[in-house]
Amino acid sequence: AQRVTQPEKLLSVFKGAPVELKCNYSYSGSPELFWYVQYSRQRLQLLLRHISRESIKGFTADLNKGETSFHLKKPFAQEEDSAMYYCALSSLATGKLIFGQGTTLQVKP
Amino acid sequence: ETGVTQTPRHLVMGMTNKKSLKCEQHLGHNAMYWYKQSAKKPLELMFVYSLEERVENNSVPSRFSPECPNSSHLFLHLHTLQPEDSALYLCASSQVLGFSSYNEQFFGPGTRLTVL
């Protein structure tokens, strides 16, 4: 079964601390993985996709097929990073997105 | 407004009411989606339309009825809802329906629905 798991509902860190938002997936085949973000009072939007191997707003995510993980990392958290983060997997069969439960990141001053 | 718009932004309805949610996208996309976002569950895909044809119906109760009259508009008709249907309903669109790392979904702001 295709599934995305984000084990932490809430992650609270202080400004300047490193951040790692965990994401594990279950998928048979080569997955396409994404991180979406929803800031307060804003719409859900794409943060980054694994194929691009890019860094957006200081965030990176590496696909680890051995551990079936796609954790989101940032070395120094900023207060403006506080938001809800969703990990998502694109289904090869249908092209639809399967979302994890989401993790709320709270960056304290 | 550009991108994906949804109206109304907030809706309160009784269990016997009939109402409709509207979604419009100005991006020239061919695929549109309805999601339900509840407080205690992950984002749930409800319906998928590609080129105005429904291609996915994820076991959604019949009290939710989608309509896609053209590639720019998507409706969700609501009838005899239950209090547990209270949630944020999100509309999204993408260029096409298909497997692609670059087939990004663009989301609307959502309609906050409260069923009394």
CA distance A70 to chain B (A): 15
The count of other CB atoms within 10 Å of the CB of residue B107 is 23
Cβ distance A90 to B99 less than 8 Å, yes or no, reads yes
Q: Which of A3, A8, A10, A43 to mutate to test the interface with B (most CBs of B within 10 A)?
A: A43
* Residues whose CB falls within 8 Å of the CB of residue A1, separated by 6 or more in sequence, listed in order: A26
Contacting residues of B for A83, CB less than 8 Å apart: none
Distances (CA, A) of A91 to A62, B6, B11, B92: 19, 26, 32, 16
Contacting residues of B for A93, CB less than 8 Å apart: 99
Place of tokens 């949610």: B21
The count of other CB atoms within 10 Å of the CB of residue B116 is 10
pLDDT at position A20 is: 97
Place of tokens 């860094």: A55
Contacting residues of A for B101, CB less than 8 Å apart: 32, 49-52, 90
The beta-strand segments (E) located in B10-95 are: 10-13, 18-25, 31-37, 44-50, 53-57, 64-70, 73-79, 87-94
Contacting residues of B for A102, CB less than 8 Å apart: 42-43
pLDDT for A28 beyond 60: yes
Q: Which of A26-30, B25-29, B63-67, B103-107 has the lowest mean pLDDT?
A: A26-30
CA distance A71 to B27: 31
Cβ distance B104 to A97 less than 8 Å, yes or no, reads no
B8 cis-preceded (ω within 30 degrees of 0): yes
Q: Quick: pLDDT tens for A35-59.
A: 999 999 899 999 998 877 788 899 9
Distances (CA, A) of B24 to B17, B30, B96, B113: 23, 12, 16, 18
Residues of B in CB contact (< 8 Å) with A are 4, 31, 33, 41-43, 45, 48, 55-56, 90, 92, 96-110
Give the chain B residue whose CA is nearest to the CA of A102. B42
Distance of alpha carbon A21 from its chain centroid, rounded?
6
User: What burial letters (b/e) apply to A69-105, b meaning 16+ CB within 10 Å?
Assistant: bbbbebeebeeebbbbbbbbbbeeebbbbbbbbbbeb
Q: Quick: pLDDT tens for A66-100.
A: 999 999 999 999 999 999 999 999 876 666 788 99
pLDDT for B1 beyond 60: no
